[in-house]
Structures are given as C-alpha cells and as structure tokens.
Amino acid sequence: MSTALGSSTLLRTAHVQRETFDPSDGRHIESFRTFLETGNWGEIQFHVEAPYTDVPMTVLMKFAQYTEGVSRETEAARCWRISRRENTVPFPKPQTNAQVRADRASALAVSNEVLARLNAQA
C-alpha cells in the first residue's frame, strides 16, 4: 500500500497557493505581472470572485478598480439605482374579463361580416 502512495503523482507535486487577489499586495502584483508576460500565473494563483466568471477577469477588474480608485457598486446601491430608472418598455395593463369578452365579440362580429360578404358573392 505504501508503494502505491509513494508513486502517486498528485501526492508528490507541490500544491499551488491560492488566495483572494489584493491589488495592494506586492506579491499578488508580481504574480499578475508574470501572467501578463507569460500567460501563466506566478507563485500565487487566485480564486474567482463573483460576479466575474474567471480568474483573469477577476484580477483585471479588481486591479483596474484599485488603480482608478473606484469601488464596486454594492447590491443595495444597484437595486436602488435600478428602481429609480424609468421603465423603458411600457407594458400594457392586463385586461379585465369584460374587456376580453368585448374584444372577442368585436372580432366575432367582424368575422361574421366577412363571411356574410363571401356568401353573398357566391
């Protein structure tokens, strides 16, 4: 059993250190520079953070926000901003049953009139 564990590639390889990217940490910036130069992360790799879908986008956006001094909009602030925006698509109000019946009766009257004209021509 011990020989099987000793020959395991997974157990013999060094595990990669993963951290949450902090643009103010020099080690993280060095790893980021390595990624920009080579396409591979340096000594430290990073976790994906919501709302981003992959590590490069997480790191790039956090670095850009840090260098520009912009903080990410909170969920509460986003909800408030969206609630203040006017609805750009005017949805019609639902019809009452009486309105539906009137529309159907009107459509039926038009249909009956068309059929009467066709029968008169035949």
- Span 72-97, average pLDDT: 85
User: For residue 95, what pLDDT is reported?
Assistant: 87
Helix (H) or strand (E) holding 84: helix 75-84
pLDDT in tens, 1-51: 455 555 666 555 557 788 999 999 999 999 999 999 999 998 899 999 988
Report the alpha-carbon distance of residue 62 to residue 68 in Å, rounded. Answer: 10
pTM summary value = 0.54
Phi-psi sector, 41: left (phi>0), alpha (psi -120 to 50), beta: beta
User: For residue 1, what pLDDT is reported?
Assistant: 47
User: For residue 73, what pLDDT is reported?
Assistant: 87
61 or 14, which is more confident?
61
